[in-house]
Amino acid sequence: MGEYVIPFVGLKTGVHTYEFEIGDAFFEGFEYSIIQKAKVHVKLELEKKETMLIGNYFLKGEVYAPCDRCNEPAVVPFNGEYQLIYKFDTEPSNDEMLVIVPPEANDIDVSGNILELINVSLPARLMHEEGACDENMLELLDEYSWSDKNIGNDEEEKEIDPRWNKLKDIK
């Protein structure tokens, strides 16, 4: 993933802009990526300072993933803006927005940061828009789902396994 490696040693102090078009091949480089197919445009404004780099990421695109509701393929659009600070240091940090870069490093590989930012930009549930799900699948799910309508109530008691009825006699 050499195209995502940015050499910063020769850069002048100030803002430098990088743009990346992320496609399916990008995700193949990550063994455990939850995303397999996507089209994402990433703009990175990298500001070089004396003791750090400030990366402002702007992401816009769509991922193609199984719908969490009907399991049919869905197109899920997203966008996001994030800032990461690349600090030259040897001490690890617990801050999610702080990336530690060893003082002897000459470049940074932003591919892992891009993958992580795409993941956090996605909604918690990947789904079709309302009304676009596979109706047959929704009917099947409704039929086999555990819900109040599947539980017998006082007026309409469903047949109970006789072994459970024996438990009613226990006092």
In the predicted structure, residue 128 carries a pLDDT above the cut 70? yes
pTM of the model: 0.76
pLDDT range class, residue 151, cuts 50, 70, 90: low
Residue-wise pLDDT tens digits, 66-111: 888 888 888 999 999 999 999 998 888 899 899 999 989 999 999 9
Q: Where are the domains of the chain?
A: 2-121, 135-168
CA distance 113 to 117: 6
In the predicted structure, residue 24 carries a pLDDT above the cut 70? yes
- Who wins on pLDDT, 129 or 14? 14
pLDDT of residue 81: 97
Q: Which of 20, 15, 23 is nearest to 5 (CA)?
A: 20
In the predicted structure, residue 49 carries a pLDDT above the cut 80? yes
Other C-beta atoms closer than 10 Å to the C-beta of 124 total 6
* Terminal CA-CA length for the chain: 69
pLDDT range class, residue 155, cuts 50, 70, 90: very low
Average predicted confidence (pLDDT) for the chain:
87
